Amino acid sequence: MVLMVSMSLMIVGACTVSGGFITSRPSAVAYVRPIAPGSDYVWISGDWIWAGNRYEWQEGHWVRPRAHRIWVGGQWESARGGWRWRRGHWR
């Protein structure tokens, strides 16, 4: 089953950036999550990567889960008068 997932996508140059912080959150965008390669896979949501002076979107992907851990997706956090992306991680 193909699912539409609404994720944040930054339009490069649309937000002012300073040291990992941006003044406004990116707009939402829809993309297609591919079908899982097997029933024992976990979807890792797309993630924002800081690339020098802006955030760049990295697409999500399927992985086998890590033993005794769960995936916690990334999220935007309000900080220092702007926004900063807290990356997803295994917990």
pLDDT digit string, tens, across residues 5-54 = 333 333 333 444 445 788 888 776 677 899 999 999 999 988 888 888 88
Q: What range does the domain containing 62 cover?
A: 3-90
pLDDT for position 14: 40
**Distances from the Cα of 61 to the Cα of 42, 50, 53, 68, 83, angstroms:** 8, 19, 25, 20, 25
DSSP sequence for 64-88: PPPTT--EE--EEEEETTEEEEE--
Structurally, the chain folds into a number of domains equal to: 1
Q: Would you say how long the chain is, in residues?
A: 91
pLDDT for residue 2: 37
pLDDT, position 5: 37
- pTM, two decimals, is 0.67
Cα separation, 17 vs 79, whole angstroms: 13
pLDDT digits (tens, 9 = 90+) for 63-78: 999 999 999 999 999 9
